[in-house]
């Protein structure tokens, strides 16, 4: 009988899947040595047949196991070879002729996060589909409040349990979610998508806001003013940018202030900076005591300030983009013109953001 030890050794040494297949055919193929030996068993007398048959079965198991093992080994080394060949050096710098651009909204959010990040704010997020409670009720906007109509809300079909879901009309519901989940001190900004049923050159049904919320024992109006003046001057890159706080009303803040920045409109051209004119830029105020209570925070112990700002609006002002609708047209010419190179990473340390 053939020495199958040799065969097992040959299999273990096979250098390619082709060599392995040749050995398999030689031994286990239709005319393979083991197959033929099995066939010859019939000519033996019963006692010899039993012995030789058992030995051949053992040999067949060994050969099969060796083949399986070698197939795995050759497969592994083939994969290793391919991986080595396809290796990419991810530490290489990006090529400067990259044609892709960072969308102005992404860039503006990164700039805003960089500035507030320096001031110690963390970034929070919340769902786009929101419960009535978080979008309105907990923010001190009761069911029949006129502010609900002003928000031009997109409602989802009523759920069987009667709960009404809506696309969030502002980022303020994340104030509630954060205060419910986290003990003060709180210092967050919330950049994100918001939705209102409104569409013209300055309104898009989907747009972005950034919310800010600070809650601590000694938080007061001076902090709100200092923080927003600092932010606006850094964002627009103008150290002397005039900033004005004008009394206003929001159900969830008391007192409330709308914030204007200085501009000039000489010759019909809008220019940000000292110029004798004003431009409304964001809403803000001290968190209403009822809103703190709604979140289980004691207003006798804690106070907070909050603000909300439209991201498209500040991006349009900073980068001279005339029509909000173009942000979402995916027009490559527009993106090449207004977009940013991947290496234009906003940072306060590196220099001016503009
Ligand atoms: N949520 C308000 C809006 O969308 C903005 C705002 C936020 C005002 C926080 C005050 C405080 O108009």
Ligand 1 atom, smallest distance to 212 CA = 9
Residue 98 lies in a domain: no
Whether residues 292 and 190 share a domain: the answer is yes
Counting from 1 in the atom list of ligand 1, the atom nearest the Cα of 256 is: 10
CA angle 217, 220, 226 (to 5 degrees): 125
* Residue identifier of the C-alpha nearest atom 9 of ligand 1: 307
Could you tell me the CATH number of the domain that includes residue 255? 3.30.930.10
Is any ligand 1 atom within 6 A of the Cβ of residue 170?
Answer: yes
The pairing of beta strand 122-123 with beta strand 186-195: parallel
User: Which of the listed residues 250, 258, 313 should we mutate to test ligand 1's pocket, taking the one with most ligand atoms within 8 A of CB?
Assistant: 250
Question: Helix 17-28 to helix 33-40 angle, to the nearest 10 degrees?
Answer: 10
Distance of CA 62 to the CA centre of its chain: 53
Task: Give the Å distances, CA to CA, from 57 to 54, 64, 65, 323.
Answer: 5, 10, 12, 81
* Region at 308 (left for phi over 0; alpha for psi -120 to 50; beta for the rest): beta
257 within some domain: yes
Residue with tokens 């303020």: 172
- Which of these three, 28, 57, 86, is where a domain ends? 86
- DSSP assignment of 165-185 equals EEE-SSSTHHHHHHHHHSPSP
User: CB–CB of 156/187 below 8 Å?
Assistant: no
175 lines ligand 1 (CB under 6 A): no
* 140 shares a domain with 52: no
Q: Identify whether residues 111 and 8 lie together within a single domain.
A: no
- Looking at the CA of residue 194, tell me the nearest atom of ligand 1: 4
If one residue of 126, 170, 224, 246 were mutated to test the ligand 1 pocket, choosing by the most ligand atoms within 8 A of its CB, it would be 170
343 and 225 in a common domain: yes
Separation of alpha carbons 337 and 143, rounded Å: 45
Same domain, 208 and 283: yes
Closest-CA residue to 210 (of 232, 183, 239): 232
Q: How many domains does the chain have?
A: 2
Whether 94 maps to a domain, the answer reads no
Closest CA to 284 of 252, 306, 261, 255: 306
Q: Is 253 in the pocket of ligand 1 (CB under 6 A)?
A: yes
Instruction: Specify the residue for token string 């409670």.
Output: 133
pLDDT at residue number 350: 54
DSSP string covering 113-162, please? Answer: HHHHHHTTPEE----SEEEHHHHTGGGT--TT-HHHHHTT--BPPPPTTS
Q: How far is the CA of 103 from the centre of ligand 1 (A)?
A: 25
Length of the chain measured in residues: 354
| β pairing state of 206-216 and 243-250 | unpaired
Residue 52, CB-side half-sphere exposure with 13 Å CA sphere:
17
Last residue of a domain, one of 40, 56, 86: 86
CB within 8 Å of 89: residues ≥ 6 apart = none
To test ligand 1's pocket by mutation, which of 153, 172, 284 has the most ligand atoms within 8 angstroms of CB? 172
| Atom number in ligand 1 closest to CA 170 | 4
Based on the fold, state whether residues 44 and 175 are members of the same structural domain: no
In this structure, the residue with its CA closest to atom 5 of ligand 1 is 308
- Looking at 57, 86, 115, the residue that finishes a domain is 86
Per-residue tens of pLDDT for the chain, all 354 residues: 567 889 999 999 999 989 999 999 999 999 999 999 889 988 889 999 999 899 999 999 999 999 999 999 888 888 898 988 888 888 877 666 667 899 999 999 999 999 999 999 999 999 999 999 999 999 999 888 877 877 789 999 988 888 889 999 999 999 999 999 999 999 999 999 999 998 888 889 999 999 999 999 999 999 999 999 999 999 999 999 999 999 999 999 999 999 999 999 998 889 999 999 999 999 999 999 999 999 999 999 999 999 999 999 999 999 999 999 999 999 999 999 999 988 788 877 654 454
Whether the CB of 172 sits within 6 Å of ligand 1: yes
Q: Is residue 95 domain-resident? A: no
Residue 269 corresponds to which tokens in the numbers above? 């051209």
Which residues constitute the domain of residue 150?
104-350
Which contacts (CB < 8 Å, 24+ apart) does range 173-176 have? Answer: 173/126, 173/130, 173/134, 173/135, 173/138, 173/139, 174/124, 174/125, 174/126, 174/211, 174/213, 175/139, 175/211, 175/213, 175/252, 175/287, 175/291, 175/306, 176/134, 176/138, 176/139, 176/291, 176/294, 176/295
Query: Are 62 and 127 part of one and the same domain?
Result: no
Instruction: Identify whether residues 196 and 340 lie together within a single domain.
Output: yes
226 and 148 within one domain: yes
* 344 and 238 both lie in a single domain: yes
- Asked if residue 142 is part of any domain, the answer here is yes
Residue 187 forms part of a structural domain: yes
**175 & 220 share domain:** yes
Position 354 scores a pLDDT of: 45
Specify the pLDDT at position 347: 75
Say if 96 falls within a structural domain: no
DSSP run (H or E) holding 280: strand 277-287
The whole-angstrom separation of Cα 346 and Cα 86 is 33
Give the Cα separation of 258 and 9 in Å (integer): 85
Residues 324 and 204 in one domain: yes
Q: Is the CB of 284 under 6 A from ligand 1?
A: yes
Is residue 92 situated within a structural domain?
no
pLDDT of residue 91: 85
In angstroms, the CA 67 to CA 11 distance is 6
């Amino acid at each position: 009988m053939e020495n199958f030890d040799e065969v097992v050794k040959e299999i273990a040494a096979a250098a390619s899947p082709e060599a392995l297949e040749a050995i398999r055919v030689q031994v286990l193929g239709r005319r393979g040595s083991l197959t033929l030996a099995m066939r010859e068993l019939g000519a033996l007398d019963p006692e010899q047949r039993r012995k030789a048959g058992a030995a051949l079965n053992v040999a067949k198991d060994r050969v099969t196991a060796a083949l399986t093992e070698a197939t795995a080994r050759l497969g592994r080394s083939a994969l290793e070879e391919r991986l080595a060949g396809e290796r990419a050096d991810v530490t290489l710098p990006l090529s400067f002729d990259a044609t892709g651009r960072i969308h102005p909204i992404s860039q503006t959010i990164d700039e805003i996060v960089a500035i507030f990040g320096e001031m110690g704010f963390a970034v929070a997020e919340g769902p786009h589909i929101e419960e009535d409670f978080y979008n309105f009720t907990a923010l001190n906007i009761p069911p029949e409040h006129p502010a609900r109509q002003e928000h031009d809300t997109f409602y989802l079909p009523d759920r069987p349990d009667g709960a009404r879901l809506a696309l969030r009309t502002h980022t303020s519901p994340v104030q509630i979610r954060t205060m419910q989940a986290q003990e003060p001190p709180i210092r967050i900004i919330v950049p994100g998508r918001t939705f209102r049923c409104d569409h013209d050159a300055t309104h898009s049904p989907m747009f972005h806001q950034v919310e800010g919320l600070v809650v601590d024992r000694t938080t007061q109006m001076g902090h709100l003013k200092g923080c927003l003046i600092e932010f606006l001057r850094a964002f627009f890159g103008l150290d002397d940018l005039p900033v004005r706080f004008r009394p206003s009303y929001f159900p969830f803040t008391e007192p409330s202030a709308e914030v204007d920045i200085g501009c000039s409109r000489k010759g019909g051209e809008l220019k940000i900076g000292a110029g004798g004119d004003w431009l409304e830029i964001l809403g803000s105020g001290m968190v209403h005591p009822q809103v703190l209570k709604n979140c289980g925070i004691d207003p006798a112990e804690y106070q907070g300030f909050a603000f909300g700002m439209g991201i498209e609006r500040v991006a349009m002002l900073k980068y001279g983009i005339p029509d909000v609708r173009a942000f979402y047209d995916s027009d490559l010419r527009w993106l090449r013109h207004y977009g940013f190179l991947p290496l234009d990473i906003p940072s306060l340390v590196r220099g001016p953001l503009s």
